Structure 1
Amino acid sequence: MRYQTFGRHSGLRVSEYVLGTANFGSAPAAAGLEGSRAIFESFVGAGGTTIDVSNIYQDGEAETVLGDLLGRERDDYVVITKYTGSRSAQVRPGTTGNSRKTMIRSLEESLRRLRTDYVDVFMPHFPDGVTPLPEILAGFEDLIRAGKIRYGGVSNFPAWRVAGAAVRSELSGHRPLVGIQTEYSLAERSAERELLPMAQAHGLGVVLYSPLAGGLLTGKYRHGEQGRLSARAAADGTAGEGGEQRTAVLDAVLAVADEIGTGPVQVALAWLRQRAARAQTSMIPIVGPRTPAHLAGYLDALNVELDAHHYQLLDEVSAIRLGAPHEDVAGALAHGVDGDRSLLDDPLIPVI
């Protein structure tokens, strides 16, 4: 496994996969305690160092299990954890959200479960709709100075809020945000509209969750297997693969896998690694196995390289409409409003 720094504002070295621990726990649908240990040890054995968790995963048990596994080698790993929500049956206003109060309380509880005195990256899991970002940034500053977190980031926030926070932290002289977390895969490329260009422009690392689109890109639902998407479909009354384009994407993934003699998981992750290699900031996917066999498949993808025409096929079938103003600007540039662009070098850093 290879390593890179997390964004341009830190020297924090992260592995090219992040181990997702949402399945770490003893519940029937989770990996089990022994299974969690086997997954963790296989990931570490392959060179993995970076681990993602949250205070709500398995009602907090995921952090407890991870804390047991980190042990005395805790400093060898980069631990990302998140706060905002609660899985309590009786949620009270003072125990959720992103306020400084909730941030500190949640972090203290996470540190106890993780059996450590600090986490490497701390993030609000979702916007709560009320807490101003200056309050979140001030909370990060206090926790960094106290030595309880090393860096701050945000998860699932819209690009305009993250950009504002990035500029505000730079102008105030506070520690800058180092990264974001967002969904991204062949079946969900919405982040290309605003989030990924914003992260590149501001030098933020990007942690990508659901790189297999909730199991869609494995092809398992076509074989009648159950998973996150089947549960969601039953809850909201939908059926199928979520639309014609997602079906076409899966068809293409399966066709490429059949052509080169590998699996759809390896194809989908190889495409994602190629996109990350072309980015102007670090983009690292979270792999969230429920079994050691799942992890083995994800690790196999590290050795898969597709041909140029495969990448082109997958790019085209999964492409999204960027919409306004992106398409209008692209059209204007094509008609020469910026002179002869063939005479210009591509900028190393996107214009902001």
Structure 2
Amino acid sequence: MEYRKLGASGLKVPALSLGTGTFGGSNNAFFKAWGANEAAEATRLVDICLEAGLNLFDSADIYSAGRAEEVLGQAIKGRRDQVLISTKGTFRAGDGPNDVGSSRHHLIRAVEGSLRRLGTDYIDLYQLHGFDALTPVEETLGALDDLVRAGKIRYLGCSNFSGWHLMKSLAASARLGLARYVAHQAYYSLVGRDYEHELMPLGLDQGVGAVVWSPLGWGRLTGKIRRGQPLPETSRLHAKDVTDRGPQVDDEYLYQVVDALDEVARETGKTVPQVALNWLLQRPTVATVIIGARNEEQLRQNLGATGWNLAPAQVARLDAASARPAPYPYWHQAQFAERNPPAVS
């Protein structure tokens, strides 16, 4: 397994990490569509990951209402020193008016709850799950800095921020001498390249590493979805609640990208998901790509995305097939590459 620095920090993380959205989802319709691994199955997946050198496991307090963190805690019991844990908070975790957001009140309670469910006394990477526009960034960062100084959090990250959200927060950290975000957990895939327009150049400039979620386009790049064929029975895309809450992708665009993936997969002898993941691993700022797995077979297949690289011509072919018109002002800036060089050439 290749290890990479997480942004401008000194922490090294594996190129692939395991997402735990499939853990403990048996009693939650949304997360059940992802998977429903309980402790025994989760422990086996963790075993396989550690054997392969993958030691970073990502969760969130809202995954199956905290059950995913509990199952992860059981799966790593007795080997905490061998793993890195990342988890997230901010989204609603109760019915009360203060059970949501990035206020000092909610974040401290959220972190304490995650520590309890995970069965640990520190979190390696703690990320805000989304931006809270109703709480001053100074309050949020002050609370996180206190948690870092207390030893409950080692590194800070955020997720699903706009460029200005992230830059405002980084500027506040610098101004006040507070711990800063070194990671941004963001959606990025061959059928979702919006990350490249602003967040990637920001990450390069400010030393913020990308922790990529849903690298297979919300289950669309599994190799099982093709023109003229029905969705596979196990696809999460059957659930309207899942599709409505995820990235929207035009069918014809998806098939165009899958056609290119099929060609490259045949040339390399790899699977479509392995090619899609390997493409991401070659992008600027990407520190780690979060893979998911319903079972051992899926996990082992996804682990096969490392240890090799696509040829430049193959990368260029996938780039061309997945290219989309840039929104303003990025299409305008692209006309002046002499002064605004692209993050991805």
TM-score, with structure 1 as normaliser: 0.87
Identify which of 153, 158, 163 aligns with 1:154. 158
Residues of 1 paired with 2:245 and 2:143: CA distance? 41
Identify which of 54, 74, 89 aligns with 1:48. 54
Structure 2 unaligned regions, length at least 5: 27-31
Shift of 1:94: 1.6
Task: Please say if 1:81 is aligned against 2:81.
Answer: no
Task: Please say if 1:112 is aligned against 2:113.
Answer: no
Identify which of 198, 201, 206 aligns with 1:197. 201
Question: 2:315 matched to which residue of 1?
Answer: 311
Residues of 1 paired with 2:83 and 2:335: CA distance? 46
Q: How does 1:248-263 map to 2 (within 5 A)?
A: 248-263=256-271
Letter in 2 for 1:271: W
CA 1:102–1:298: 2 relative to 1, 3 Å: same
SS at structure 1 position matched to 2:190: coil
SS at structure 2 position matched to 1:214: coil
Question: 2:29 matched to which residue of 1?
Answer: none
Residues of 1 paired with 2:337 and 2:11: CA distance? 38
CA 1:329–1:154: 2 relative to 1, 3 Å: same
Residues of 1 paired with 2:276 and 2:314: CA distance? 11
SS at structure 2 position matched to 1:301: coil
SS at structure 2 position matched to 1:104: helix
Residues of 2 paired with 1:262 and 1:206: CA distance? 25
Question: 2:97 matched to which residue of 1?
Answer: 93
Letter in 2 for 1:115: G
Q: Is the 8 A contact 1:241 1:247 kept in 2?
A: no
Residues of 1 paired with 2:231 and 2:42: CA distance? 25
Q: Which has the higher helix share?
A: 1
SS at structure 2 position matched to 1:166: helix
Shift of 1:173: 1.6
SS at structure 2 position matched to 1:220: coil
Q: Is the 8 A contact 2:103 2:135 kept in 1?
A: yes
Residues of 1 paired with 2:202 and 2:14: CA distance? 22
Residues of 1 paired with 2:184 and 2:202: CA distance? 10
Shift of 1:237: 12
Question: 1:2 matched to which residue of 2?
Answer: 2
Letter in 2 for 1:40: V
Question: 1:36 matched to which residue of 2?
Answer: 42
> Larger radius of gyration, structure 1 or 2?
1
Shift of 1:87: 5.8
Identify which of 44, 57, 64 aligns with 1:58. 64
Letter in 1 for 2:6: F
CA 1:111–1:189: 2 relative to 1, 3 Å: same
Shift of 1:236: 4.8
Residues of 1 paired with 2:249 and 2:162: CA distance? 26
Question: 1:321 matched to which residue of 2?
Answer: 325
Question: 1:24 matched to which residue of 2?
Answer: 23
Q: Is the 8 A contact 1:267 1:304 kept in 2?
A: no
Q: How does 1:210-229 map to 2 (within 5 A)?
A: 210-222=214-226, 224-225=231-232, 226-229=234-237
Residues of 1 paired with 2:20 and 2:279: CA distance? 23
Structure 1 unaligned regions, length at least 5: none
SS at structure 1 position matched to 2:87: strand
Alignment RMSD (CA, Å):
2.6
TM-score, with structure 2 as normaliser: 0.89
Residues of 1 paired with 2:245 and 2:274: CA distance? 31
Percent identity, please. 37
SS at structure 1 position matched to 2:24: coil
Q: Which runs of 4+ in 1 moved over 3 A?
A: 232-238
CA 1:263–1:167: 2 relative to 1, 3 Å: same
Q: How does 1:322-337 map to 2 (within 5 A)?
A: 322-333=326-337
Shift of 1:189: 0.4
Shift of 1:111: 0.6
Residues of 1 paired with 2:84 and 2:63: CA distance? 18
SS at structure 2 position matched to 1:35: helix
Question: 1:71 matched to which residue of 2?
Answer: 77
Shift of 1:268: 0.6
Q: Is the 8 A contact 2:131 2:165 kept in 1?
A: no
Residues of 1 paired with 2:337 and 2:222: CA distance? 39
Residues of 2 paired with 1:141 and 1:234: CA distance? 35
Total equivalences in the alignment: 332
Shift of 1:107: 0.8
Identify which of 237, 242, 250 aligns with 1:242. 250
Residues of 2 paired with 1:149 and 1:104: CA distance? 11
SS at structure 2 position matched to 1:160: helix
Identify which of 294, 298, 310 aligns with 2:298. 294
